[in-house]
Amino acid sequence: MPAGLYSWIIIFDEIVVVDGIYVMWYEQAFQAAWAAACKVERSVMLVPEKYQFLVGPISFSGPYCQKGITFQVDGTIVAPMNSNAWGKGLLQWLEFSKLVEITIQGKGTIDGSGSVWWQDNPYKKKKKLQAVRFYGSLNATVTGITIQNSPQCHLKFDNCIGVMVHHIRVSSPGDSPNTDGVHLQNSRDVLIHSSTLGCGDDCISIQTGCTNVYIHDVNCGPGHGISIGSLGRYNTRACVSNITVKNVNMHNTMTGVRIKTWQGGSGSVSGIMFSDIQLTEVQFPIVIDQFYCDKSTCKNQSSAVSVSGINYQRIKGTYTVKPVHFACSDNLPCIDISLTSIELKPLQEKYHLYDPFCWATYGELNTPTTPPIECLQIGKPTSNRPQTDHDTC
């Protein structure tokens, strides 16, 4: 930003002014503005348009802040290009923690400058920062803004109740590693709608501890589709229930709607509805994978996260590899899988390489499907062992 300019962070009718001469970092301005906003119920902290603010990792934290703060982003907030400037041990860039009725809104942009992270050996196992994270908050809303080029996940909600995300845009290249669009974990009563999400990983990722999630009218692509999981890694217990995904368009994604769990886990995924999904050039439109593994080999284990009560309705479009892939546990098969009005066609006949695949998958076909999903076993498994507390949540 040119020398001699000032940065204004406006809170109601108060203005916090930081002399910008020879100053390129604005953490102090943001911290001062937040400290003032925190004291006033229904205050507004404004990031003004036509300005860019270079900001390192910062936490906007409660729990002693007044409720109803609005973080109005009309300008651009930019992360440092040098990954060393982030410091060590941090997991997020902009964190909103332990707040009540917090809103981020505006017509501006939050830019995570992720390319420096992606280029620095993207497959090396190291922690990468999330652009925006909400933790332990009640009634959090994000609307209007663009979040782009996060080092990893763009927008994360962890241990939150009452989340609303709408009319946002997430953008990063399709080959940017691990850049989930919206990531949910241990959160409930979530509504995501009317948004466009393009990234290098899941457009929306739903992790353990999530319930009562409703997603509708979302455009997804590029990316890995909308995923539940991965769940149960390191023999952990995972619980996901009451998820609805409806009226979603997916273009040029790796998967469409997917459930992925690790061998050795416990808990359950249940009460899931995927409906009215339109797909274009999707590699694997419908996937349940209870053998998920993101490395070359994984140990075979008999326990699994149970998968039941999964409904697929009116999922239509084109694929490029395999239309349906249901790989379920021998010890704990997938049950109550329901398919209605499924119409999936190869983009071109040369892409008709694989037929639908099912393993230990039981349920019902309510209508004829395209292609025929003859591998689904109708009814319930006769030898299925009773569910135990280990399997349920």
| Catalytically active residues, by annotation | 224
CB atoms within 10 A of CB 84: 8
Angstrom distance (rounded) from CA 69 to CA 41: 7
What is the CB-side half-sphere exposure of residue 389 using CA atoms within 13 A?
0
Angstrom distance (rounded) from CA 369 to CA 91: 44
- Provide the b/e sequence for 231-269 (b: ≥16 CB within 10 Å): bbbeeebbbbbbbebbebbbbbbbbbbbbbbbbbbbbbb
Angstrom distance (rounded) from CA 30 to CA 319: 47
CB atoms within 10 A of CB 107: 12
What is the CB-side half-sphere exposure of residue 393 using CA atoms within 13 A?
23
Query: Residue 111: in which H helix or E strand, if any?
Result: strand 109-111
Angstrom distance (rounded) from CA 86 to CA 82: 8
- Tell me the backbone φ, ψ of residue 116, rounded to 5 degrees: -65, -30
Is residue 194 within 8 Å of residue 214, measured between CB atoms?
no
Is 174 buried (19+), middle (13-18) or exposed (0-12) by CB count in 10 A?
middle
- Please give the C-alpha separations between residue 53 and each of 22, 33, 75, 115, 267, in angstroms, as whole numbers: 13, 14, 8, 18, 44
Is residue 40 within 8 Å of residue 70, measured between CB atoms?
no
Work out whether the CA dihedral 98, 103, 109, 115 comes out positive or negative.
positive
Instruction: Decide: helix, strand or coil at residue 167.
Output: coil
Pull the structure tokens for residue 146: 């663009």
Is 185 buried (19+), middle (13-18) or exposed (0-12) by CB count in 10 A?
middle
- Provide the b/e sequence for 340-358 (b: ≥16 CB within 10 Å): ebbbbbbeeeebbeeebeb
Radius of gyration of the chain (CA): 22
